[in-house]
Amino acid sequence: MKTAEKIVVFIVIITGFGMLTVSLASLYNDLSLERGVMYYAVDFMFFAFSVLLIGGGIRLYRRILAYEALADVIVDEVLYERLKPLLEQIAFSTVEIDEVKTKLSEIENELKRIESAEYKVPAVGNVMFYIKTIMVAMFFFGFYLFMINFILPYEVFLYVVLYVIWWAFITQEFRLFDRMEAWVVLCIPILIVPSASIIIDSIFGMVAARAVAFWSAVVYAYLYYLYAKKLATSPREPIKFELLKASKK
């Protein structure tokens, strides 16, 4: 396992235990102060997330170990078996040097493909993608906790940041900054969330507005992830700044 991956997995697990402690302390305070059901729901939500974070970190650790074991098996069984006849050919024949070089080149390409499949797979199915997703989720939860624990001016407009966090992460992973569709998806929460939050706050209160903002951001992230996967495999049509070109002329 790479040192960087060890550090990331360790941070994920420690953060999970930290959030677990904070959620239990918050639940104790809410029970002592006899707060409303919404506060208990938020405490339970963070408790569940911390448990998932700890379990996910342990699972990632086991998966990376499995990849290492698989790489060892490939080297021991596949690579050695391919190199053995080649070494014999090199020892007993100089006529087939070109063929030997070709086979060695094929083996080198195969090793590069295996390494690419393990560490450089596009977002879907890559261990590092899951690790980065967990890190972004922690930042997302941290920002949300900051908002609900402090009275901030124009809070309804800050809800948009919850959506932008996921949009920026997914767009970066799928390299979609040059796609007009991705920018259209970003405009959706910017146009809808502030006004919708003001309406919900005036009718049901700030707690309900915060809950709706949180869960809608989660749903937004999941739907955009599915759309980004499909968009990444479709023909790319970069954004054309025709007006900018015309002004330069």
Average pLDDT over residues 187-193: 93
Other Cβ atoms less than 10 A from the Cβ of 52: the count is: 14
Q: Distance (Å, rounded) from C-alpha 194 to C-alpha 157?
A: 5
Q: Which residues of 5-41 are buried (b: 16+ CB within 10 A; e: fewer)?
A: beebbeebbebbeebbeebeebbeebeeeeeeeebee
Residue 219, pLDDT score: 93
Beta bridge partners of 238: 179
The label of the residue with tokens 């209160």 reads 205
Average pLDDT over residues 128-132: 78
Q: What are the tens digits of pLDDT across the range 13-61? A: 787 787 778 778 877 777 787 777 777 777 777 777 778 777 777 877 7
Structure tokens at 13: 């697990």
- Residue 244: pLDDT band (50, 70, 90) is very low
Residue 55, pLDDT score: 78
Q: Calculate the CA dihedral of residues 143, 148, 152, 153 and round it to 10 degrees.
A: 100
Q: Is 238 strand, coil or helix? A: strand
Residue 167, pLDDT score: 95
Res. 162: pLDDT tops 80: yes
